[in-house]
Structure 1
């Protein structure tokens, strides 16, 4: 039912094309290898191969395919693990359909997207598993960035792509990429998702 609902939403929206639908994680990987989609949407819990394992396989085999993970409130611990697997989007199954579209668009554009509710749960989870990385520490790390880098980081946390950030801040995309690279280095994180989590934890992300 969830797959049917997602497919219906995407097929009714201009700019989206559903190229395949899988019944389990192993089939999802095989179909992705065949069709090479821009984005693969995976549930955390799937038969034969779970979403975390499927994410790792997809990212190794198809680095050009972004992965968006669907989760429930009870599965926030999996989201932290999925960060290391290379997922770039995290959405709630029960979320607003517009959020689904936003998250998939962001992933296709190379951006990270955390559903606001998911972001809060991830931050809480990170706080329990890494208590030294508290809100104050995150704020201190972010404060060490330049004013422009903090502006860019806030928009990364809001799920905007480099092109969207450029339009918002009146910068060319190459300049945004340079800022993002400097931000990742300055914060000591490996990817945009981890930077987005830190932005949320520091409290600099506002509603679009």
Structure 2
């Protein structure tokens, strides 16, 4: 049976919760992730706030980094048990805004889940659709940050067609899996060794 995107969103949120449930308290509170300033609990705090865009992000306009810091600081005041209780409700009942923007929501979620898994050196099988959402979200983030999507010709090695806006003449090619390309586009340079630059 094929899941709808909304079902995929709920399923990926539950997978994230399963990952977090396995972490000892110290790792949950202070463990290393690919988001250098955030522990696993901070990533969860950020993701929970995405369900309340009007209250948590719109007041900050284009200053998303400031909004993120504010939401993470708020989540840090909650004990783990309360934060995880909120996460279970968040997984079961995504907000209307998250459901309407499900492609973006899923991509952000999948990238941040990999931030935790990769940062802690864990291994986890991803559902087959997750790398595609990571790639799409990475491309959108790249347009706002590093512009790698414009400066390179991107080719997936796991069956996705060539990606990217028309690059500059003689732009270098970057080849890799959808996951690695998406994480790299999103600024996670630790995946660079998984890519082939020509």
User: Taking structure 2 as the reference length, what is the TM-score of the superposition?
Assistant: 0.33
Q: Name which structure has the greater RCO, CA cutoff 8 Å, separation 6+.
A: 2
